[in-house]
């Protein structure tokens, strides 16, 4: 990505942070696998502000009721809301899921075929759907076919801002570029999962647990400094 400057020192710092959080949380990407691509896309939408356990519970109910995009596109909002109730923000997520399903059905998009396309093309098609966007497209490609990228979610943004790696106005593509330039392709899925876990358990949004943080000494935002 042009226009983003990254010093060797910054690369080394990012790499050190990522290695440390992977070691701390040892995430298991296999736990996130869902075979059917449409269901995988729904699970990613449900995962926003929801624990993995509640996503699983919601997906069990959703899969039992809806076999694919066509069924969701023609279902009532209430039945979708009811199916995904174990997930947080289910009222808001149901119309989004229905909107995405409607576009997939109307445009006759074959998600299996999208998954066989090169990354830029697959990402372009997915991001063109209202309600998907580049981050959701990236997370989908990462889990559904092991694309070796490093999508940035709100937890990762917050952690990177506090650690002085992301600027206040840093955008998605720029921070993704910084992390991908510093983390080897084979480690990126682990890095994504571990950084989210770090943001959920240690560097939480309100009152970060700095006393338990391994980056206390180097963090410009630590409340103990």
Per CB under 6 A, the list member of 98, 123, 162, 178 interacting with ligand SF4 is 162
Query: Helices 188-201 and 172-182 sit at what angle, rounded to 10 degrees?
Result: 120
DSSP string, 50-99: S-HHHHHHHHHHHHHH--SHHHHHTS-HHHHHHHTTTSTTHHHHHHHHHH
Query: What distance in Å separates the CA atoms of residue 21 and residue 23, rounded to the nearest whole number?
Result: 5
CB contact set of 133 (below 8 Å; sequence gap of 6+): 127
| Cβ-based nearer residue to ligand SF4, 148 or 222 | 222
| Cβ-based nearer residue to ligand SF4, 130 or 201 | 201
| Cβ-based nearer residue to ligand SF4, 132 or 219 | 219
User: x/- string (CB under 6 A) for ligand SF4, residues 196-215?
Assistant: ------xx----xxx--x-x
Minimum separation from the CB atom of position 67 to ligand SF4 (A):
43
Distances in Å between the Cα of 17 and the Cα atoms of 23, 72, 113, 135, 181 are 10, 41, 36, 22, 14
| Cβ-based nearer residue to ligand SF4, 145 or 161 | 161
Query: What distance in Å separates the CA atoms of residue 5 and residue 211, rounded to the nearest whole number?
Result: 32
Minimum separation from the CB atom of position 174 to ligand SF4 (A):
20
State phi, psi for 155 to the nearest 5 degrees: -65, -45
| Cβ-based nearer residue to ligand SF4, 55 or 183 | 183
- 216 touches ligand SF4 (CB under 6 A): yes
- 1 touches ligand SF4 (CB under 6 A): no
Per CB under 6 A, the list member of 46, 73, 163, 191 interacting with ligand SF4 is 163
- 115 touches ligand SF4 (CB under 6 A): no
Of the candidates 95, 46, 102, the one whose C-alpha atom is nearest the C-alpha of residue 74 is 102
Binding-site size for ligand SF4 (CB under 6 A) equals 13
Instruction: Note the residues at the interface with ligand SF4 (CB under 6 A).
Output: 162-163, 202-203, 208-210, 213, 215-216, 219, 221-222
């Amino acid at each position: 990505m042009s226009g983003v400057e990254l010093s060797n020192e910054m690369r080394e710092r990012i790499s050190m942070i990522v290695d440390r959080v992977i070691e701390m949380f040892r995430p298991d990407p296999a736990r996130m696998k869902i075979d059917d691509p449409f269901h995988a896309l729904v699970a990613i939408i449900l995962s926003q502000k929801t624990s993995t356990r509640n996503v699983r519970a919601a997906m069990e109910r959703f899969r039992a009721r809806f076999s694919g995009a066509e069924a969701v596109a023609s279902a009532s909002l209430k039945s979708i809301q009811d199916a995904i109730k174990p997930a947080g923000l289910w009222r808001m997520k149901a119309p989004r899921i229905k909107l995405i399903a409607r576009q997939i059905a109307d445009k006759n998009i074959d998600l299996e075929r999208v998954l066989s396309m090169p990354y830029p093309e697959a990402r372009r098609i997915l991001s063109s759907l209202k309600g998907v966007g580049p981050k959701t497209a990236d997370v989908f490609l990462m889990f559904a076919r092991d694309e070796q990228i490093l999508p940035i979610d709100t937890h990762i943004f917050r952690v990177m801002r506090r650690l002085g790696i992301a600027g206040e106005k840093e955008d998605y593509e720029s921070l993704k570029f910084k992390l991908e330039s510093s983390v080897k392709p084979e480690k990126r899925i682990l890095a994504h999962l571990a950084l989210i876990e770090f943001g959920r358990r240690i560097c939480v949004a309100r009152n970060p647990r700095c006393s338990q943080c391994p980056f206390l000494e180097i963090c410009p935002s630590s409340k103990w400094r």
